[in-house]
Structure 1
Amino acid sequence: MDTAVTGTAIGPMVIAAVDQFEEHPLVRDELAARILPLSGRLAVRAARWRPIRNALFSATEKKIPGLWASMLCRKRYIDDRLDATEARTAVVLGAGFDTRGCGHWDGRVFEVDLPATVKAKHERLLALFGALPSSLTLVPVDFEQQSLEKALEEHGYRDDGPVFFVWEAVTQYLTEDAVRATFDFLSHAPAGSELVFTFLRKDFLAGDAMFGAEGGHREFVTKRRMWKFGLMPDEVEGFLAPYGWKQIEQLGPQEFSARYVQPSARVLPVSEIERTVRCVKVGA
């Protein structure tokens, strides 16, 4: 099963699960370790020992300084916003092994991801609970090849009220055409809907500003060509406007450090290459 699941779906939840061993975790997710496939659970189990945790942290930071805390802070922020929303439907685009649809929230959750990842997660949920949570619907979609709108509708999605959309750590893996196709779908969301998404800085992808992440650029941009799409922080408002979305807040290392890291009394850098945006739908 694990061979069908990409590391990008497992990695962030491994970090969230490992962080539960800290005295002051940046996120609280008791299900994070249990929901992972075997390879992820073994990594988390080993990380009970501080030297293993330190080694995992160092390996992550070597490629992209601040990535560990960045992943945790963006997850915490999205969880906070989901807790605060008045929407009763959430759509998680590129959900991976996210646990938000597993009883952490009392609304209906549609989780969208690649078919192989959806299959692996479905199997894991059956092993844990014997059935999918009644509020959770898994939707297999290839963002580059399939219609997101059609796939969601076929699985019972209806946008007859405000929706909370999550698009976490996905846009960089897509072409600009695929990103815009998703925003075409999002342009039809009801007014008052909320979207939290992340993006990589365009100047990092271009190699003009490395922020100490030369190793990450070499692996994910140059060698493996996995990361493709990016924006500059001051481009976001203009990018969103034609789709009827308005930026409310944009967060980077300064904001995340002040909001989450410093209150935890932990000393952790937050990556400069990724930013998180919260926006609302202003038109029908």
Structure 2
Amino acid sequence: MARNPAAQTAFGPMVLAAVEQNEPAGRRLVDDDLAELFLPAPLRWLVAATRLTPVRRLMVRASEWTGPGLWANLACRKRFIADKLTESLADVNAVVVLGAGLDTRGYLLTRQVRIPVFEVDLPVNIARKAKTVRRVMGQPPLSVRLVALDFERDDLLTALAEHGYHTDYRAFFICEGVTQYLSEAGVRRTLEGLRAAAPGSRLVFTYVKRDFIDGTNRYGTRTLYRNVRQRNQLWQFGLQPDEVAGFIADYGWRLVEQAGPDELVQRYVEPTGRKLGASELEWSAYAEKV
């Protein structure tokens, strides 16, 4: 399988989720008892080391060298998505995870409800996910379908339909940590594919701010900027918060809520007593299909 730089980014968020599992319950930002199991062996060994509090603290501090506040951003965006999904479960009859990577959400969800979950990602990531699920679970749940797709070239609705998706599903679409890796054309192509979603469908997504992409504000993340913009243009797309409502309205979505770093820290970090700040670089948004 051809290597794809974006495909290699699937590990980071799951390492964070697994490390957070080693925090005491009252200090934990993410609850995910499958995260460590879904990681390859070397990363499982790394996570195991963080059961020791000093090692865990060192890892969180080290993440700040790459991008101040990014640990809290990643953890809080997962909590924001989980909250919105929980609030919506009674009103939707399918879940679609765009850019699923090694995300465990679909498998955790089978403990609560039996609705179809479609995990969409690049072919290399889908192949890796299938192998991982077989290793961890033996047999994948019948309710979870893996959909291989290139967001820049393939038709989303066609790919989903080939795996049993129906356009009359009132679906909950999750697009976490994905939009920055696509071109603007790829983001628009994805939203065009979601235009046919049934009214009442929900969409939660994250985005990085456009002024980081164009280099006018690096948000104190010189190492991150060098890695994702200067060396290989890994991140391509961004939005400003005041542009989001109009951008998605063109495709039939109504913005319901946006959550920036201050709100996410207040909502999720402060109750734990942990002293973590979040970066202005990344925001989360929640919308409904009209």
| TM-score range relative to shorter protein | over 0.9
Instruction: Report the counterpart of residue 174 of structure 1 in structure 2.
Output: 182
Q: What secondary structure does 1:250 align onto?
A: strand
Instruction: Report the counterpart of residue 93 of structure 1 in structure 2.
Output: 98
The answer as to 2:263 corresponding to 1:255 is yes
1:171-250 aligned within 5 A: 171-250=179-258
Residue 145 of structure 1, CA deviation: 2.1
Instruction: Work out whether residues 163 and 194 of structure 1, in 8 Å CA contact, stay in contact via their aligned partners in 2.
Output: yes
TM-score, with normalisation over the residues of structure 2?
0.93
Residue 54 of structure 1, CA deviation: 2.8
Note the alpha carbon deviations across 1:39-59, whole angstroms, 9 max, x for none.
321221222223332332233
Q: What secondary structure does 2:15 align onto?
A: helix
2-side partners of 1:252 and 1:218: how far apart? 24
Instruction: Work out whether residues 103 and 133 of structure 1, in 8 Å CA contact, stay in contact via their aligned partners in 2.
Output: no
The answer as to 2:91 corresponding to 1:81 is no
1-side partners of 2:62 and 2:272: how far apart? 22
Q: What secondary structure does 1:34 align onto?
A: coil
Instruction: Report the counterpart of residue 50 of structure 2 in structure 1.
Output: 47
Q: Which runs of 5+ in 2 are unaligned?
A: none
**Percent identity for Structure 1 against Structure 2:** 46
Name which of structure 1's ranges 159-168 and 174-183 shifts more when overlaid on structure 2. 159-168
Residue 4 of structure 1, CA deviation: 8.0
Note the alpha carbon deviations across 1:208-265, whole angstroms, 9 max, x for none.
1122112211111111210000001100011111101011111111110111001111
Instruction: Report the counterpart of residue 157 of structure 1 in structure 2.
Output: 165
Name which of structure 1's ranges 122-131 and 189-198 shifts more when overlaid on structure 2. 122-131
Instruction: Report the counterpart of residue 65 of structure 1 in structure 2.
Output: 68
Q: Which runs of 5+ in 1 are unaligned?
A: none
Instruction: Report the counterpart of residue 17 of structure 1 in structure 2.
Output: 18
Paired residues, number = 281
Note the alpha carbon deviations across 1:129-153, whole angstroms, 9 max, x for none.
2111121111111111222111111
Q: What secondary structure does 1:91 align onto?
A: strand
With over 3 angstroms needed to count, the CA separation of the structure-2 counterparts of 1:77 and 1:137, relative to structure 1, is: same
Instruction: Work out whether residues 63 and 216 of structure 1, in 8 Å CA contact, stay in contact via their aligned partners in 2.
Output: yes
Instruction: Work out whether residues 93 and 113 of structure 1, in 8 Å CA contact, stay in contact via their aligned partners in 2.
Output: yes
1-side partners of 2:155 and 2:188: how far apart? 12
2-side partners of 1:9 and 1:36: how far apart? 10
Measured on the aligned residues, the alpha-carbon RMSD in Å equals: 1.6
1-side partners of 2:13 and 2:108: how far apart? 19
Q: What secondary structure does 1:9 align onto?
A: helix
Q: What secondary structure does 2:254 align onto?
A: strand
Instruction: Work out whether residues 193 and 281 of structure 1, in 8 Å CA contact, stay in contact via their aligned partners in 2.
Output: yes
Q: What secondary structure does 1:237 align onto?
A: helix
1-side partners of 2:200 and 2:129: how far apart? 31
Q: What secondary structure does 1:120 align onto?
A: helix
TM-score, with normalisation over the residues of structure 1?
0.95
* Matched letter for residue 15 of structure 2: V
1-side partners of 2:119 and 2:130: how far apart? 11
